[in-house]
């Protein structure tokens, strides 16, 4: 049996009700995320990235197509799929420890074990000394660490990240990216990461998908085999070349057609990946 976390998005369409009838937020889209992979999704504002994440999370029902996790259709929110958004969504009335314990409730653990596991999760993100603090007593980066601890403590097979570090300053953001990679490597969840930051995608992901302007189609994907931790200047500038290409596609100049960089694997949109 294959590892858990195999996510297959097959030909899904997302529509919203508009004043003059249905409006397409996402045209038919197919995507396969292999167990334990780390995929980034980049695209212009309004192209449908969050709608896709919300459909995978089970918060909205696609007008057509199917989403399967390990072969089972996703029909609603599930503890198997964790989420981290830009806004931390911590319970303000719980301490850091209480927030992580809340995520563990579904396991029905004895109290002492629940507390021990929550403490271990907080220690993993460097917040062992802050477990008694409430969210409002924590910095933005610390709150997002609690969100990471809480999500991974729940042992999700899939983790959906919607611009989780967008509100953080550059230095904190870099630290959080490294932390995310460390925790992901230990827990081996399948990650789908939405970001507007091309550099962030290139530093973190195994694969980067690029969407067109809304309603967005998958127009290219880039397989990144560079070992982590990465820097954009390593590997003879291969990542910088991909960066240039993605930026050219996101912000096309009238006369400049993007050229393909050597060594980049790009495939057609709407095709399942092996």
Binding stretches for ligand ATP (CB under 6 A): 16, 25, 43, 45-51, 214
**Residue with the two structure tokens 């560079």:** 226
Distance between CA atoms of residues 161 and 2, nearest Å: 24
The nearest distance, CB 52 to ligand ATP, in angstroms, is 7
- Give Cα separations from 166 to 10, 85, 103, 104 (angstroms): 29, 9, 24, 27
The nearest distance, CB 196 to ligand ATP, in angstroms, is 6
Are 47 and 212 in contact by the 8 Å Cβ rule? The answer is yes
Torsion sign (Cα): 158, 164, 170, 171:
negative
Query: Closer CB to ligand ATP, residue 16 or residue 107?
Result: 16
The nearest distance, CB 103 to ligand ATP, in angstroms, is 25
Query: Closer CB to ligand ATP, residue 4 or residue 58?
Result: 58
Query: Closer CB to ligand ATP, residue 50 or residue 157?
Result: 50
**Residue with the two structure tokens 């999760």:** 121
The nearest distance, CB 38 to ligand ATP, in angstroms, is 19
Neighbours of 170 (CB within 10 A): 8
Query: Closer CB to ligand ATP, residue 228 or residue 249?
Result: 249
Query: Closer CB to ligand ATP, residue 135 or residue 216?
Result: 216
What does DSSP say about strands 81-85 and 158-162: parallel, antiparallel, or unpaired?
Answer: parallel
The nearest distance, CB 244 to ligand ATP, in angstroms, is 21
């Amino acid at each position: 049996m294959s590892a858990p976390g195999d996510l297959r998005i097959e030909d899904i369409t997302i529509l919203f009700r508009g004043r003059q009838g249905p409006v397409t937020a996402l045209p038919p889209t197919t995507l396969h995320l292999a167990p334990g992979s780390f995929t980034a999704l980049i695209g212009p504002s309004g192209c449908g990235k969050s709608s896709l994440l919300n459909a995978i999370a089970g918060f909205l029902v696609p007008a057509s197509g199917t989403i399967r996790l390990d072969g089972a259709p996703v029909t609603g929110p599930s503890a198997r799929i964790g989420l981290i958004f830009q806004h931390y969504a911590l319970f303000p009335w719980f301490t850091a420890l209480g927030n992580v314990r809340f995520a563990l409730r579904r396991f029905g653990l004895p109290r002492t074990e629940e507390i021990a596991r929550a403490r271990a999760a907080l220690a993993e993100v460097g917040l062992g000394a802050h477990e008694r603090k409430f969210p409002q007593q924590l910095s933005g980066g610390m709150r997002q660490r609690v969100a990471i601890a809480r999500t991974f403590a729940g042992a999700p097979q899939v983790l959906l990240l919607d611009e989780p570090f967008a509100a953080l300053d550059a230095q904190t953001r870099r630290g959080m990216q490294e932390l995310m990679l460390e925790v992901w490597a230990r827990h081996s969840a399948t990650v789908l990461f939405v970001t507007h930051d091309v550099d962030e995608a290139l530093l973190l992901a195994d694969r980067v998908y690029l969407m067109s302007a809304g309603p967005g189609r998958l127009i290219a994907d880039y397989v990144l085999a560079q070992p982590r931790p990465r820097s954009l200047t390593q590997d003879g500038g291969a990542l910088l070349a991909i960066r240039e290409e993605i930026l050219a596609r996101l912000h096309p100049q009238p006369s400049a057609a993007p050229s393909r960089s050597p060594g980049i694997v790009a495939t057609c949109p709407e095709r399942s990946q092996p």
